[in-house]
Structure formats: structure tokens, C-alpha cells
Chains A and B, each alone.
Chain A
């Protein structure tokens, strides 16, 4: 378990930060995912564990976004959490546009695009992680890219 933690902690935090745009929240998400895995340990093998962790990270990221959505109702917009300090510092104009367009996508669409274009997962794997059919994953990705293209054109 410790080996798994050493090996995948950074990668999973990177995945989570792409979902929630906030490093601290991403680290919390990954910590909770490992705690959840610990309660179910041992699984069949390292591959099964990684799949389990990715699913847990996506699901917990979703919870963070839900909570944040509720919080936004009470927080003035300029104070609402939307991007980490690090990302604001290093992102170029071009990348900021992609970030903005990505943030406007439906949650599920964003998840599919991150899993597809960051982790380079096959649609079958994405489907397994998100609990949807392979064709849904494929269709969501295609539709998401189309919307993203439109949004990026608008932002240019």
C-alpha cells in the first residue's frame, strides 16, 4: 500500500487538480481516495488498485465541485475558488482560454475530456471509471470537443 502511495500520489493529485482546479482540494481528494482504498485493501493487484483510485478521485472531485457550487451561492463571484495561484501564475493567455472554456463544460463532459486527453485512456477504460457505457464516453468526448472548439473561437 505504501508503495502504491509513493508511486501514484503525484499522478493522482495531478488528475484531481484538473478536475477541481485547486491544489489543496486535489490533495484532500487523493488522501480520501487512499483512505477509502485502505478500508478495502487488498484488491486483486496494482492495476485493480489504480483503477479503483482513479474512480474514487473522480467521484470525490465531483463532490468537491458540488460543495463548491453550493458555496458559490453565498460567496461573491470574485472570491469564489476557480483557479489555483500556481495555475494563474504559469498559464499563458492561450491556456487560460482553454481553462475557461473547460470550466464552462458540463461536469461529466469535462471528466471524459480529462481522462481522454490527459491520461490518454481508451473509451472502454473511461467508461469503466465513470460508470457509463463506452458509447456514451465516446459521444460525450466528441460533443465536448465540439463545444470546446466553439467556446475557444468565441474567446479568440
Chain B
């Protein structure tokens, strides 16, 4: 267990203990009024009972899960990125539907060269390993046990991962996906870097107080990148030179779009606002449009033009993040308010980031997960 986990558990236990074990609630009201229902209310109740009975007869009988599980999106509406739905243990990608083998985690980190998707095997508590879900539905292990944080190289032929040597120490390794052989490594060091992404400049890593580090595995060159206020999150498309970083500037939260140059990070566009939430940057694969999920806005990196996305509800502000299908179309889940049983209802939309127009693709998208293309 890490220091953070220990401190978190300690805090939660202490905070919960502020409610004493012998505390008592005000009690439940007995439904005495039932005996005195007026005739109209009774008649209405009969209607409700009949409707409920009919409903129950057509349902599977799961009282705690009243919402219907979502099915895959219909023809013409399917996301053009890999996705999974809770109703089947399969990864959908275009016309491919691949069964996810037992023990494999249902979260994927991009298509690999030659076919397949980068994923993880999690067969039990404390066991995790990087691997490839093949189009045949098998899972091919890459790298040593206790590895995670995987990131694909821009050509999708290599994978960088973090190998835990202990709970507080580990090393970054790079493997060739075709041969499975290790091709590069960083010396073991304390702490776990946040593996942010890999583009033409190299593998971007957040190293806590040490800030941003970009490592080029092919040459072994490593450089520290100074971005004032950087607070940990980034969007680094593999094929664009532009990246977006989250930062705190003068008490505001900001999205900083820019590119790495010989003399450091060159800022192209900065977009700031006030708000307590952490920003999770999203950037189009061509590096031209960044998304501010908290405000449902698309910002042109070159001109700074802001396009409001016409969504009926708030964009989902944590994972799964909105995902670009291409330079123009963005897929996003929204918080559709409380559904049946008070459970949050997600809906899936496709938005044109140039016009802001959005189209509802899936009305009940609970359990639908978009994955990195």
C-alpha cells in the first residue's frame, strides 16, 4: 500500500468516526395515512399497482438495478473508436467484435500496428500485467508482471510501461510489440511517474514536484520541460506535435496548448477560467482543437475561437473522457440527470467541434465505455 493510500484510509476512518457508533436516526414514519386514503387516491393506487405488476412481469426481477442495461449503438450511430458495453464481454471496433478473455481488464489504450489493442491482464488482487488483445480474442503478454501505465509509441509498434520493483520504486521499460523484446529502459528510481503520452518528441512523464520530463527512448535523451503551474494532466496525441497541459495560473485553472521546441515549451494558446474541478485536457488527433469538458467548449488552438457544444446536459467530467473520432467529430458522454432509482443516466453524443452541433447517439449509455483509438 502506498503512502497516499495509507493516509487516505486513515483520514476516511477518522472522519467517519465523527459519527459515533451509538448515534441514532430520527426513525421512520409509519404509514398511518394509508387507512384514510380518499377514494380517488385509492383508485389511482390501483392503476399504479396494475402498471407496476405489468412492468414486473416483463422484467428480469432485479430490484436494485431497475434501469435497462444499454445495448450496442444502432447502425450508423456506432462510435468510430473502440468501445465496450456492459451487455457483452467484447471489444467493438468498426466491424470487429472481439471477445475479451477472462482476467483481461476491460480498458484499452490504443490500436497496435498489425492488429490488436493494448490492454491489461488483471487476474487477481495485486496482479497486473500489460498485454495485447489480439483480433482472435487471445491475450498476449508484453513485459514483466506488476507492470502498468502503458503508452503506445506514435508508430504503434512499441509500448512503454512502468514496472513496479516494489510499492515505492520502479522503472520505465520499452518493448517491441512484434518480438516482445525489451528495447529501452530508464534506470530504476523512487516513485511512479505519470505516463502521459508519447509523440514525436518522446515519452512525456509527470514526475510530481520534478515536473514534466520528456524521454526519447531511441536516443536515450531526457529533458525536463518547464511549464509554470502544470498540475498533472495532459493530452498528447501521437501524431500531432501539439499537446495540451492542465495548469493553475493566478488561482485560475487553465488549458495550455503548445509544442516542444529546442528552447522549451512554446505556448500557442491558453484558456483559463475559475473552478474547483481538476481539468482533464482533450485534444483532437490533428492537434487543432482542445476541449474544456467542464464548460462544454471546443477551443481552436490556432485562433483561440471558442465554440459552445450544443449539449442538453453537462459533459461527463471525469473518465471516460470525451474522445475524438477524427479532427472534426467528438464523442462525449453527458450526465443526463437521475434516471430510474436515482441512478445517474449517461447519454452518448457526437459533436461537430466546428459548428457545435451535437447528435444524440445512445439515449441510455450507462455502461458504454469509449477507448483510445
Contacts and interface: CB of A to CB of B under 8 A. Distances in A.
Nearest to A37: B28
Contacts of B25: 5, 9, 13, 27, 30-31, 34
| Most chain A beta-carbon neighbours within 10 Å: one of B2, B64, B192, B276 | B64
Q: Is the interface of B mostly helix, strand, loop or mixed?
A: loop
A39 to B, nearest CB: 10
Given A18-B12, A55-B342, A43 B107 contact: no
Interface in A120-137: 128, 130-136
A5 B27 contact: yes
Contacts of B12: 18, 114, 117-118
- Chain B interface residue bracket vs A: 35 or more
Interface in A95-127: 95, 98-99, 102-109, 113-114, 117-118
Nearest to A16: B19
Size bin of chain A's contact surface: 35 or more
Given A106-B317, A145-B5, A91 B278 contact: no
A90 B319 contact: no
Contact of B278 (A2, A36, A105): A105
A78 interface: no
A118 B13 contact: yes
A133 B10 contact: no
Nearest to B279: A106
A138 B369 CA distance: 13
A147 B280 CA distance: 11
B346 A131 contact: yes
B18 A84 contact: yes
B105 A145 contact: no
A98 B208 contact: no
30 contacts: A1-B28, A5-B25, A9-B23, A18-B12, A38-B28, A40-B63, A44-B61, A44-B62, A55-B342, A86-B18, A87-B15, A90-B18, A99-B15, A104-B278, A105-B278, A106-B277, A106-B317, A106-B318, A131-B366, A131-B367, A133-B86, A135-B106, A138-B105, A146-B192, A146-B194, A147-B232, A149-B3, A149-B208, A153-B208, A153-B209
Interface of B: 2-5, 7-21, 23-28, 61-65, 67, 84, 86, 105-107, 122, 192, 194, 206, 208-209, 231-232, 276-278, 317-320, 338-339, 341-346, 366-369
Q: Which 3 A-B pairs have the closest CB atoms?
A: A135-B107, A98-B11, A14-B16
